[in-house]
Amino acid sequence: MILCFLFHFSSNAQDSNYVKWNCTGKKLSENLYELHLKATIDKGWHLYVKDEQIDGVSGFKISFTDSTIQKQGDPQFIGNIKTISDKIFDNKPADVVEGTVEVIQKIKFSSAPPAALVTKLSYNIENTESSIAEEQKFNPEEQTVTTLLEGGVDMSTSNRILIPTINLNNPVSPCGGLAPMGSLLQIFLLGFVGGLLSLFTPCVFPMIPLTVSLFTKRSGSRSRGIGNASLYGFFIFLIYVLLSVPFYFLKQGNAEILNNISTNPWLNIFFFAVFVFFAFSFFGYYEITLPDRFATKADSKANIENIGGLFFMALTLAIVSFSCTGPLLGGLLANSLNQNGKPIELTVAMAGFGIAFGLPFALFAMFPNWLTRLPKSGSWLHSFKVILGFLELVFAIKFLSNADLVEHWGILKREVYVGLWILIGIFLILYLLGKIEFSHYPKEKKIGKGKIALAGITGVMIIYLILGLTPWGNLKLISGFLPQRDYSIFYKQSDCLLGLNCTRDYEQGLKMAKAEHKPILLDFTGYACTNCRRMEENVWSEPKVNDIMRDKYIVISLYVDDKKPLPSANQFLYTTSDGTKKNIVTIGDKWATFETENFKNNAQPFYVIISSDEKLLTKPVGYTSNPDEYKNWLECGLNAADKP
């Protein structure tokens, strides 16, 4: 970027294959500027000027990451503008520009202009030469122009990322520290439970005795049958672990990429739609299967006589059971990504799933008499599948809520969220008691005791949810799954939870800490962070913890998944400690980078205690379910702050 003369700004955009851009501008009056976007278009190519002349072809557009910037009028084009009969689009007329063109656009800032401005240019270009391949003749492109603005506000202080006084290796007090194995164990158990549930689906359960019988009868001896079945179970485990490998490659070059994926609102909406789709599959309206050619190809190579054949037998089972395991795997994938953005979590979850899924085949081969104790396949499998369908709908609401929270839509307030769960629970009770049926499954003549008991348990849970919405109730048993208590229709929303002395801006919190002579508790959190909500509702709410946080600390809550764009004056290009250039555009971009750069961590929740002169007082901690342990850490931080 090149700083221009007084009242001007200038920068070169990243050039496309066919268009080279140069941006200049000048100040017209207070907060009013004029952009001059000059393009050099390669010979033989032209750029479309207007919208709606041809269906599917957009004209030239200018946009800004800061939505408060107002464009004054339409852009003006200066250059070789002409109307053509477009050969690619059935000779329809279109206005295009060729060679060198200048686009002038006036803009107005609602507040002080920034020192740096990010401008996005989107357009379509075309080449009509016969030597160009058909698929290369038409190209949609988008370029970003980052500019410096003379006279703009210098936000270098507010835009600080790396704090040089923070030394992770030398805190004032050694107390605290991360304990990642606890969370990994939880993730493993989550995967293990998912694997166990998959065993009781109609696609898998009948396969257990058939497969085990195959090993015991065709292996020649019991010892060899046990060996083959054990190896078969291991290959099932290995296949599911291998599904996590691609995510290690996604991680390269961006420490927050998996966190960004898991909190992306459109991906969460996609997961919501997928879960609903899977739910209706469980209800029997349709069956989801992978293409037959995959199963056929894997099955053709399956052979019990060699190791390769055993692997393909395991692969065949994974493929043919996909219609039942797919929804569970989808939930496992989504929830693992939502933990803290590390691919190891997904590997651990898949390992738990694979062990639970493959272990029965080995165990029943070792103890074939156990097969006689298995319940016979029947209508109970269909009922189990329908129950899983209702659970899919329950989890679907969670993903829709994630998107709602990070985008601040205000659709799924806490009461609406809980109300949908209550509604799903009522329909589940009606199904269990035979009041509603799914015509795709055979009708049961008698309601079993198990269904009646499950209906009773569901009823108790519905009552708990209803009471939890009252002013005197709480929903601590399911904290983490629900939005924050103040994200509510009835309760006033506040930036400060539980009456804490807090802010959501680091620089503002630093000023508060200096003025009140208090240490700072940095709370790296997220709207879609399950364990963050558990901490707030189960640990922070405890009086012995809340009193210390409210009276002794300045709490700075930094939301790493907030998709709200920063004001234009606060958007900038940051070079990380490893040399990577990163555009800081949203609030989440800033605080996620702040956490990674200063504390070499990208997990949430993540808590750090620093002094008002920005020195690390203790070792940071993560999710801590024990209020006494968290209280002791807070007190240790206070003692460290008192040291000279």
Per-residue pLDDT reduced to its tens digit, 256-306: 555 666 677 887 888 788 778 878 877 877 665 545 554 454 445 444 455
**Same domain (yes/no): 369, 227:** yes
Region label for 408, one of left (φ > 0), alpha (ψ between -120 and 50) or beta (otherwise): left
The boundaries of the domain holding residue 272 are: 200-377
Distance CA 43, CA 637 (A): 66
Of 132, 148, 164, which residue is a domain's last? 148
Q: In 321-413, which ranges are continuous DSSP H helix?
A: 322-340, 343-366, 379-407
pLDDT of residue 552: 93
pLDDT of residue 377: 52
pLDDT of residue 365: 64
**Same domain (yes/no): 138, 205:** no
Per-position DSSP letters for 334-347, written without gaps between them: HHHHHHHS-HHHHH
Place of tokens 């189990």: 384
Distance CA 511, CA 475 (A): 36
Nearest to 585 by CA among 146, 254, 152, 15: 146
CA dihedral 525, 528, 532, 537 (to 10 degrees): 130
**Domain count of the chain?**
3
CATH at 548: 3.40.30.10
pLDDT of residue 617: 94
CATH at 111: 2.60.40.1250
**Same domain (yes/no): 221, 368:** yes
Give the β-pairing of 70-86 and 92-108: antiparallel
Nearest to 484 by CA among 524, 423, 536: 536
Residues in the chain: 644
pLDDT of residue 96: 87
**Same domain (yes/no): 124, 263:** no
Q: In 219-264, which ranges are continuous DSSP H helix?
A: 222-242, 246-251, 257-263
Nearest to 583 by CA among 593, 594, 572: 572
Phi, psi of 368, rounded to the nearest 5 degrees: -60, -20
Is residue 510 a contact partner of residue 612, using CB atoms and an 8 Å limit? yes
**Same domain (yes/no): 249, 372:** yes
Give how far the C-alpha of residue 499 lies from the chain's centroid of Cα atoms, to the nearest Å.
29
Is residue 482 a contact partner of residue 468, using CB atoms and an 8 Å limit? no
Query: Is residue 240 one of the residues assigned to a domain?
Result: yes
Burial state string for 228-251 with b = 16 or more CB within 10 A and e = fewer than 16: bbbbbbbbbbebbbebbeebeeee
Query: Is residue 559 one of the residues assigned to a domain?
Result: yes
- Kindly report the CA angle at 427 between 413 and 273, in degrees rounded to 5? 55
Query: Is residue 404 one of the residues assigned to a domain?
Result: no
Phi, psi of 431, rounded to the nearest 5 degrees: -70, -45
Query: Is residue 131 one of the residues assigned to a domain?
Result: yes
**Same domain (yes/no): 94, 208:** no
Strand partners, 141: 123
Is residue 21 a contact partner of residue 168, using CB atoms and an 8 Å limit? no
Query: Is residue 354 one of the residues assigned to a domain?
Result: yes
Phi, psi of 596, rounded to the nearest 5 degrees: -65, -45
Distance CA 575, CA 417 (A): 40
**Same domain (yes/no): 140, 218:** no
Tokens of 517: 């002579």
Distance CA 538, CA 627 (A): 8
Residue type, 60: F
pLDDT of residue 127: 80
**Same domain (yes/no): 123, 218:** no
**Same domain (yes/no): 210, 341:** yes
Query: Is residue 456 one of the residues assigned to a domain?
Result: no
Low-confidence ranges of the chain (pLDDT < 70): 1-17, 25, 52, 112, 115-116, 128-136, 145-158, 179-183, 200-225, 249-262, 286-306, 308-310, 312, 316-342, 365-381, 440-442, 444-445, 492-495
**Same domain (yes/no): 209, 284:** yes
Of 345, 377, 409, which residue is a domain's last? 377
Query: Is residue 183 one of the residues assigned to a domain?
Result: no
**Same domain (yes/no): 528, 628:** yes
Whether pTM > 0.75 for this model: the answer is no
pLDDT of residue 118: 73
**Same domain (yes/no): 329, 230:** yes
Query: Is residue 574 one of the residues assigned to a domain?
Result: yes
Of 148, 183, 216, which residue is a domain's last? 148
Per-position DSSP letters for 489-504, written without gaps between them: SSSPP-SSGGG--EES
